[in-house]
Amino acid sequence: MITFRWFGPRDPIPLAHIRQIPAVRGIVGALFDIPVGEPWPLNRIAALREDVERHGMSLAVIESIPVHEDIKLGRSTRSRLVDNYCESVRNLGSAGVPVLCYNFMPVFDWTRTELARRLDDGSTALAYDDAALAKIDLSRGTADLPGWATAYSADELGKLLDAYRSVNEDKLWENLAYFLERVVPVAASSGVRLALHPDDPPWSIFGLPRIVTSGAALERVTSLVDDPANGITFCAGSLAADASNDLTAIVRRLGAKGRIHFAHCRNIKRTGARSFQETAHPSEFGDIDMRAVLGALHDTDFAGPIRSDHGRMIWGETGQPGYGLHDRALGAMYLHGLWEGITRG
Ligand code: DNO
């Protein structure tokens, strides 16, 4: 099913417009006002689902319920926080939401160094360059970071970065295992499939550990708790930023085990070592052979939600970087066309 991410009532793109993109029948949504660490109430999830269904679509995925930093840090407060997470997962199950996408990246979710790099056709796209990241000064908190990051004051961010000094990659794996050992059984009994999103970009940034960076790491995630409910989000663009990630091989290995529960399909062009820019979705514009990726998903009987991912800004649209309507809609149509060709071919 082709799906589309929607940021709730504050999204400038209304559900009624998403409904008009041919083939998009599923919404990838979330609640954005619940403090990180608090359980998500059943009535709020159910209301979101009803809103989506009133517009002729289904609530296919929740992306994301953020994982509290204390869980990633392995602090003693984590047991209560993991209980709260379990309660949210149970409530997703009761509200009939089948998939939960989440991530385990310390402090910073997906990160870019430019939000509007101009491409040859006049559109703008998100870009990342390790050398530019190195110049970002975190002494003012997240104030100098482009876009996305959860906002932290200088003091909060300083404390958090200090706390991570005692968490290396091994420790982060242990903390992920602690989390999954408790959450996966709840997900399994609630009818919810967990879909861990790989780290974006797939390497350490700001000296913080990042562990979900490769096919081997994704397999390790699924074997930490060997249950079909413990799966991953296959994010083509995130993984492809590292040229050593063989995307179709990753799809085939994890897909054969039935552990890919969600797919993000966008394209990127590598512009150097640890440097890339986002492009239009079709294969010819970037380094990803999208036909091969979808072909591998199809060969491994993938039947889950697929979404177009970050779009460029085109046709004068303004809005949330990566999440405008036009280019993501073009991406959705492209993915739909490829999928139709593959499945009926
Ligand atoms: C970016 C998204 C990520 C993703 C989270 C999942 O556009 O792919 O922010 O939602 O990492 O928790």
Residue 172 lies inside a defined structural domain of this protein: yes
Contact call for residues 239 and 201 (beta carbons, < 8 A): no
Quick one: angle between helices 290-299 and 326-344, nearest 10?
A: 50
235 is catalytic: yes
CA angle in degrees (0–180, nearest 5) for 280-282-287: 85
Residue 156 lies inside a defined structural domain of this protein: no
Question: 286 is written with which tokens?
Answer: 């970037």
In Å, how far are 197, 244, 258, 304, 345 from 300, measured between CA atoms?
Answer: 19, 22, 8, 11, 16
- In ligand 1, the atom with minimum distance to the C-alpha of 264 is 8
pLDDT of the residue at 140: 84
Residue 33 lies inside a defined structural domain of this protein: yes
Residue to probe by mutation, ligand 1, list 64, 115, 309, most atoms within 8 Å of CB: 64
Identify the residue whose C-alpha is closest to ligand 1 atom 1.
110
In Å, how far are 49, 229, 255, 257, 299 from 251, measured between CA atoms?
Answer: 30, 17, 5, 10, 9
Domains identified in the chain, total number? 1
Residue 301 lies inside a defined structural domain of this protein: yes
Give the Cα separation of 294 and 90 in Å (integer). 31
Residue 283 lies inside a defined structural domain of this protein: no
55 is catalytic: no
Residue 306 lies inside a defined structural domain of this protein: yes
User: Which residues approach ligand 1 with their CB closer than 6 A?
Assistant: 63-64, 101-103, 109-110, 197, 264, 310, 322
pLDDT of the residue at 150: 77
Per-residue pLDDT of the chain (345 residues; tens, 9 = 90+): 999 999 999 999 999 999 999 989 999 999 999 999 999 999 999 999 999 999 999 999 999 999 999 999 999 999 999 999 999 999 999 999 999 999 999 999 999 999 999 999 999 999 999 999 999 988 888 877 776 667 888 999 999 999 999 999 999 999 999 999 999 999 999 999 999 999 999 999 999 999 999 999 999 999 999 999 999 999 999 999 999 999 999 999 999 999 999 999 999 999 999 999 999 999 999 999 999 999 999 999 999 999 999 999 999 999 999 999 999 999 999 999 999 999 986
Contact call for residues 209 and 248 (beta carbons, < 8 A): no
Closest by CA to 150, choosing from 108, 115, 106, is: 108
**The domain containing residue 218 runs over which residues?**
2-106+166-267+290-344
Q: What is the pTM of this model?
A: 0.97
Closest by CA to 238, choosing from 301, 167, 287, 170, is: 287
- Give the CATH number of the domain where residue 214 resides: 3.20.20.150
Residue 203 lies inside a defined structural domain of this protein: yes
Residue 114 lies inside a defined structural domain of this protein: no
- In ligand 1, the atom with minimum distance to the C-alpha of 66 is 12
Q: Is 300 exposed, middle or buried (0-12, 13-18, 19+ CB in 10 A)?
A: middle
Identify the residue whose C-alpha is closest to ligand 1 atom 12.
102
CA angle in degrees (0–180, nearest 5) for 322-262-32: 55
